[in-house]
Amino acid sequence: MSFPNVRRALVARARAHGRGLHVRYFESAPIRVSRRSHQRPGEQEPSVTDQAAPISTSEAAAPAEPSLSSRVGMGLVLMGGLSVLSKVMSLAAQVVLTSRLTKVEWALGGLAISIAAFPAVLQNAGLSSVLVHRQRGFRVWSGGAASLGMLLGVVACLAIIGVGAVAAPAYGSPELVGLMVFVGTTVIVNSAGVVPTARLQIDLRYGTIAKIGLLANLSLNLLSVSMALYGLGPYACVAPQVVSGIVNVALLWRHSHAPLSFVVKPRVWKFLLGDASAIIITNLMWAVANFGDNVMVSIFASKEALGVYYFAYALSFQIVQIIAGNAQPVLMPALAKLSHDPPRQVQAFMRGARLLAALLFPFLAALASFCPEVLHLVYTDKWNDAIPIIRVLCLGMGMYMLSSMTIGSLVTAQGRFRTTMVFSIFNAVEFLTMVGLGAYLGGVIGVAIGVAVHHWFAGTIAIWLGISRGGFKLKDIPGLYIAPILACCAAMLAAYAIKLGLARVHAHTLVVLGVGGPAEFAAYALALRLIAPETARQARAQIVDIVRKVSGRFSRA
């Protein structure tokens, strides 16, 4: 049968089964047949040929798939719920680890992870993002991306072990070498997941990604807790990551159905590295801003002080992740749909940021108010030195969330990747300046103050970079957080008065938390309703909507 007759037969079959999408495709797209499944890439990018496949009876009879927006929406809701569950599990595991490990052991685990973050940027070169961007040629690019990912993973592993060998005598901690070996091995394992991760993202299988991440995190937390209870010290922080990575990669390959190919293609590597170079630079700068404070504390303070700071930062950061950790993947696709209308896009972002600030700030205020009671209840007096550090960090974590959301969702949706890279360089330099000055003048508490000041200074610039495209100015930025901050101040005063009253009758810590915590949230809700009634109404509607969705899923289950 000739090619025109093939097309007519396929069109007739598609019309008979009501497959409108296939009808449009077969009527408009030329049919090309190639004897080779992969075109050899030269200096020009490989072209990808779409081949029409016959429609089977079972495929024609299948029900219509949900729309793109429906699949994304359902996937993000599932990802959000499972991500919160995963972060709660991580917080519970962290409680056990910090209870069993000494401050020095906790510091060594944190230092190993912090130092390894810089060479690990090579492994996290954004190859999955490049494959998603080039998804029409996935089969052409996937083999080269898999082999390049493994090569970068091996290079990063060797660099991590080398850095550990140099850092161990410098810090007087020979254990760092063994810890770095485990971290480097984890990097190689994770490198094998580049291709299946991209395949699942291309197929919009967000639920599968979330479930795999939950299982991997569960194995990580169970092994970490078991090793800590067994008395393996700082190895409980890093060794389980190898097993968790193996579980994660195995499940990704099992469920993605991606072609298992690790073909060495230097010509493909050239194009992939060209796309990933800016991502590597950006990720390196973010690594400096995310882990540079731990390195500064290790230089200017003792190991115990580093353990205290690492504990305080991890606790305050977990609160942000639990409440607002999924803001970026939810906002970015929605904002990208408005890229043709910058004023409307920025207005939508401002509404979302204002709402998220209203939801997050009271939790940070509650942590600052009741961290002495929480730490005493869980750890007795072991981590009391972290109380002032937690309170200072809480002052900056809200702005950290707003600025991260701006760069990760709004600026990315605007397609301003060069702006993101330039800002990441400025952000890293300014961060090291603030933190280094704080460490030199005030030790650990000085580092915390430097981090908080950095979040407000660099965060303001980040938000301005994002909203300026929509005609907004610097004077519009305080509108995002003024109302929640004023409401938090009123709520914290109410909580302080309640704590003073309960202290006079020598109330138990559980009573203080059980009475003071709900009272502070109630006072915050009342104050926010008086100061910004529209924001309070939106926050209440969002909470009610979340409760309804969760209860609906449980009732269907």
- Measured CA to CA in angstroms, residue 502 lies from 194, 272, 367, 539 at distances of 55, 62, 18, 31
Distance CA 207, CA 73 (A): 11
Distance CA 405, CA 401 (A): 6
Residue type for 455, please?
Answer: H
Distance CA 251, CA 211 (A): 10
- CB of 236 closer than 8 Å to CB of 101: yes
Residue 187's nearest CA partner among 247, 121, 127 is 121
Place of tokens 């077969």: 26
Q: Cα angle vertex 291, ends 289, 292, to 5°?
A: 70
Residue 266's nearest CA partner among 39, 41, 36 is 41
What is the per-residue pLDDT for 450?
Answer: 93
42: number of Cβ within 10 Å: 8
Would you state the structure tokens that stand for residue 83, as one six-digit string? 């991500």
Would you state the structure tokens that stand for residue 345, as one six-digit string? 């896009």
The DSSP-derived string for 450-500 is HHHHHHHHHHHHHHHHHHGGGT--GGGGGGGTHHHHHHHHHHHHHHHHHHH
What is the per-residue pLDDT for 370?
Answer: 92
- 370 contact partners, CB below 8 Å, separation of at least 6: 495, 512, 513, 516, 517, 520
What is the per-residue pLDDT for 366?
Answer: 93
Distance CA 50, CA 552 (A): 41
pLDDT in tens, the chain (557 residues): 444 454 454 444 444 444 343 333 333 343 333 333 344 444 444 444 444 444 444 444 444 444 444 444 454 455 556 666 777 788 888 888 888 888 888 888 888 888 877 777 776 666 666 666 566 666 666 767 777 778 888 888 888 888 888 888 877 788 888 888 898 888 888 888 887 887 877 776 767 777 888 888 888 888 988 988 888 888 888 888 888 889 888 888 888 777 676 666 666 676 666 656 677 788 788 888 888 888 888 888 888 888 899 889 988 888 888 777 666 666 666 677 777 888 888 888 888 888 888 888 999 999 999 999 988 888 878 888 999 999 999 999 999 988 888 887 788 777 777 888 889 899 999 999 999 999 888 889 999 999 999 999 999 999 999 898 888 888 989 988 999 999 999 999 999 999 999 988 888 889 999 999 999 999 999 999 999 888 888 777 767 766 666 566 555 55
- In Å, how far from its chain's centre is CA 53? 38
HSE-up of residue 328 (Cα within 13 Å, Cβ side): 17
Place of tokens 């230092």: 111
DSSP state of 241: H
- CB of 225 closer than 8 Å to CB of 93: yes
- 307 contact partners, CB below 8 Å, separation of at least 6: 102, 103, 104, 105, 106, 107, 110
Residue 290 CB burial class (10 angstroms; 0-12, 13-18, ≥19): middle
- CB of 368 closer than 8 Å to CB of 389: no
- CB of 206 closer than 8 Å to CB of 132: no
Distance CA 110, CA 386 (A): 15
Residue 263's nearest CA partner among 157, 153, 122, 148 is 148
Residue 108's nearest CA partner among 185, 180, 10 is 180
DSSP state of 125: S
327: number of Cβ within 10 Å: 23
Distance CA 132, CA 463 (A): 27
Provide, for the chain, the percentages of residues in helix, strand and coil under a 3-state DSSP scheme, each rounded to the nearest 5: 85, 0, 15
What is the per-residue pLDDT for 37?
Answer: 39
Distance CA 524, CA 489 (A): 8
- CB of 423 closer than 8 Å to CB of 461: yes
Domain boundaries, the chain: 69-279
Residue 21 CB burial class (10 angstroms; 0-12, 13-18, ≥19): exposed
Rg (C-alpha) for the chain, rounded Å, is 26
Backbone angles phi, psi at 204, to 5 degrees: 60, 35
pTM, two decimals, is 0.72
- CB of 190 closer than 8 Å to CB of 198: no
The DSSP-derived string for 50-103 is ----PPPHHHHHSPPPPPHHHHHHHHHHHHHHHHHHHHHHHHHHHHHHHHHS-H
Backbone angles phi, psi at 48, to 5 degrees: -115, 130
